[in-house]
Amino acid sequence: MTSTMIPVLAVDGPGGSGKGTVCRAVTDAMGWHLLDSGAIYRALAVAARNRGVDADQPDRLADVARSLNVVFEPVPDGDVRVLVDGDDVTLDLRSETTGDLASRVAAVPAARDALLQRQRDFRKRPGLVADGRDMGTVVFPDATVKVFLTASAEERARRRHKQLKDQGVDVTLASLLDEIAVRDQRDRNREVAPLVPAADAEELDTTGVPVEDVVQRVLKLLRNKLS
């Protein structure tokens, strides 16, 4: 079987649209592999910061991307530990500061090019759930099913607020709403691989929709296509 025959579910959308939760649930239900491409860009942001490289140094950033040493290590409770250059950066990776830096390094074309094949290598049998911004448009244009999740900025900020509160992080809803607006603007308007739905993507607005319902919709789309 060539890699392009291995099924892929591409799930794109802005931060807080529910992609992470939906992708994990679908991955478990299908027994497939998961690519969290945002975590790769976040790992790049951490590695670049550690080496004193910034988003306005494209050549150096591409070097960091090419030599990125990131390991995703499953831990018993179903979570994943992330190591960059051997250091556990799991907590640092999820912070808003790292998210913001990730969005800036992700706007650099040479860095995206350097990470393309690394993402495609996640395509393994029996199938792959790919979570990101450009999964259906750039990384897996031949994906079996493409889904684009959205939700209002207010709802996305509320979800993120709850997530951070549960992790003991103290931030205001208003500051999260501002950050979401800035990040959306940058991700949607960058020159390469901007956040846009693929022409053949199914758009699902998750505002006010229980996550379990979204998971069932996505599973149905996928099973219909595979049968």
Interface with ligand DC includes 84 (CB under 6 A)?
no
Nearest-approach distance from CB 77 to ligand DC, in angstroms = 20
Taking the CB of residue 34, how many other CB atoms lie within 10 A of it? 20
| 13 is a contact residue toward ligand DC (CB under 6 A) | no
Distances (CA, A) of 53 to 40, 46, 94, 110: 16, 10, 20, 14
Distance CA 151, CA 210 (A): 12
Q: What is the x/- site pattern for ligand DC, positions 117-156, by CB under 6 A?
A: ---------------xxx----------------------
Pick the binder of ligand DC from 11, 25, 30, 102 (CB under 6 A): 102
Please list the residues that pair with 71 across neighbouring strands: 83
CB of 100 to ligand DC, least distance (A): 8
| Residue of 143, 161, 183, 201 that binds ligand DC (CB under 6 A) | 183
Residue 48: strand, helix, or coil: helix
Of positions 17, 103, 137, 206, contacts ligand DC by CB under 6 A: 103
Residue 187 in the binding site for ligand DC (CB under 6 A): yes
What the block records as the tokens of 110 is 């040479």
CA distance 73 to 59: 29
Taking CB under 6 A as the criterion, the residue among 26, 48, 106, 214 binding ligand DC is: 106
Burial class (CB in 10 A: 0-12, 13-18, 19+), 42: buried
22-51 residues in contact with ligand DC (CB under 6 A) are 37-38, 41-42
